Structure 1
């Protein structure tokens, strides 16, 4: 569950950059939207692995879908697991369509520039006969805006549904109405941190400093700072309500996080998620690429620790002392998590190898047009 929530949170920034900033006509999204969308797809693919593994019998995953069958089985629609299936499936489908539609003009460019027959066939099939005519551009813009409008509410709704996995339970530390906005802000926070973590090495390795400029990095840093403050407010309200509610179980839960056996993890997430990102208030930090990379890595680590604290510290000591225990990740837990990171990086490298990292046609649109001579 920790890894699932972490990955699905990372998958939010790509759609946010592409859809919401497109609707707001923010042109600075152009240089980073393509690989941010790809990051979304790959992160959601990694997130989708963990609910399947959680089933215990992944080969029967299709039983989660409401389809007619001879056994008369029907999914339990009151189960958060079913909600996750529909939320993640919908988000994956719309994000894939949004990413693919945006790729079509560039796929046609790759088709026309390919010298070998096989790439021409592959890119030609994927480009779906794109010729750059006026009717093609009209249909493209209509479809792209429509998908952006569909993807925008999904950014909010998907992680809200994921937060319901916790907030509908009666476990101390979970049963709270602050979870939906708190999770959405945390998802955007971790997503932009991962985009920056990827943008800085890609920018350096492929010489894209003229396309992914300091303006892009500083804008992402400002969004990280804003969402980080919302996350900090969520931490503060969580602590305050545990005291203000007067519920002994909630008070014990927050004290157990602060001074219990997992206190080091709790204070580590406060350091990496809240304290270190405050350096982004300073222009000198926002103008330093190594400093931005360090802060982004800190947030990535901190958001994983936050998920660990939410899941583990609330469950290892619940209402019944007879069920108390300690959880220590095993080798296979770490191996599964590391494997998901490997899958993510493998998909990312394949994307970089075969598809344009930056949208070619969108960059052409924002370039200044050459002046033509002639009489005035």
Structure 2
């Protein structure tokens, strides 16, 4: 192996090693707070199992609540991450190295956390195994389970493949690391030595996997959309739900990626790797997707208003009366504010792009809420002579505790992964420098762009 490459690998490990073991009072307090939130969520889960769903806000009419909304949000986040990651690798985007690992980790963690919220919706967890023993192949839910499991396996393999070169570098250059860490790197690196043959083989496999997960992301999220659109519920029975969900997934995915980039860049002081150009590129993508998302949202509500069907009018009345401010934030502020910020070049600063991403993500979550809850509150045949709290939905502290526990678990696992492998792929830096030696002019131009 080239002596310069070996020396460069040692330099990169030395540069990124402090980030792997970085422990400050702030980080300790943050991890402690996340663990506390998760413990509160576990207490809420035990109470829900012991007392049943009567301690939640879910009732006969509204059988789904914020659990299913969180499930949709996390799963759409994972599918958008898979799609974006696949695009970055397949088309060899010049600046993919700075954001690819962030996207890949978000993808896998979302696929792990998201389905847990489905389990919280099930009243009899002791019968969960029936879904696998007696699956109904004609049920969209069965296909959704198949899609999620397939996508999780594919994304996990893809993430692991991208980790192998860095694990090998850490294995060979971590003399000062703890014993358990060196053993773990050796085991996970599976004998990778970064030879030309191994490198080319790994690149081919990774490229093939990137194409596969793009297809998996589209198919899997389409199946999730069909769970809603193939029913006769007003507000769900729509032919545009599949592309609408895909666009919404990309909208939230790009937003969360921008927020993650900002936090990681600021905390680890990675200004040299995560630069303004990355935020501008992601901001332009968010702008395009926000325009598409706004168009689909307008088409969805306008067609229902114009149809004058009784059930659709009842649903719109519920939205405009009971959920007026939520509707305004989700479908106006959550779409128009990001567009207003990102459309003008002078507003595209790192902080303003991150702010636009926060508004977009919050608006998207509320949009999912408005798709689920108001529809269930306006069924075709309302339940007669029952208490108002059985018709209308209001989440209890149990549901909020478990929701925040899921978010806390997502962040905690993200931090733990960053303690294992650098968030900036070292192997990507090496590959870039190898290509720069072969084609210095082309890569220099790309870097300037």
Q: 2:123 aligns with which of 56, 65, 69?
A: 56
Aligned to 2:375: 314
Q: Deviations over 1:226-263 (max 9, x none)?
A: 11111111111112211333422123322321x22122
- Rounded to whole Å, the distance in 2 between the matches of 1:261 and 1:243 is 17
- Please, which runs of 5 or more residues in structure 1 have no aligned partner? 67-73
Q: 1:262 aligns with which of 323, 328, 340?
A: 323
Aligned to 2:362: 301
- Rounded to whole Å, the distance in 2 between the matches of 1:9 and 1:56 is 24
Aligned to 2:314: 252
CA offset at residue 371 of structure 1?
11
Bigger mean CA offset, 106-115 vs 360-369: 360-369
Q: 1:13 aligns with which of 80, 100, 121?
A: 80
CA offset at residue 343 of structure 1?
0.5
- Rounded to whole Å, the distance in 2 between the matches of 1:203 and 1:60 is 45
CA change 1:252–1:213 in 2 (3 A) is: same
TM-score (norm 1): 0.92
- Bigger relative CO (Cα 8 Å, ≥ 6 apart): 2
Task: Determine helix, strand or coil for the equivalent of 1:249.
Answer: helix
Q: 1:340 aligns with which of 398, 406, 413?
A: 406
Alpha-carbon contact 2:314-2:378 (below 8 Å) kept: no
CA change 1:179–1:285 in 2 (3 A) is: same
CA offset at residue 370 of structure 1?
10
Alpha-carbon contact 1:197-1:293 (below 8 Å) kept: yes
Alpha-carbon contact 1:106-1:361 (below 8 Å) kept: yes
CA offset at residue 113 of structure 1?
1.3
- Rounded to whole Å, the distance in 2 between the matches of 1:341 and 1:121 is 31
Alpha-carbon contact 1:31-1:363 (below 8 Å) kept: no
The CA RMSD over aligned residues, in Å, is: 1.9
Q: Is 2:97 the partner of 1:36?
A: no
Aligned to 2:59: none
TM-score (norm 2): 0.77
Aligned to 1:233: 295
1:160-199 matches, cutoff 5 A: 160-199=222-261
Task: Determine helix, strand or coil for the equivalent of 2:285.
Answer: helix
Alpha-carbon contact 1:17-1:29 (below 8 Å) kept: no
Q: 1:23 aligns with which of 90, 96, 100?
A: 90
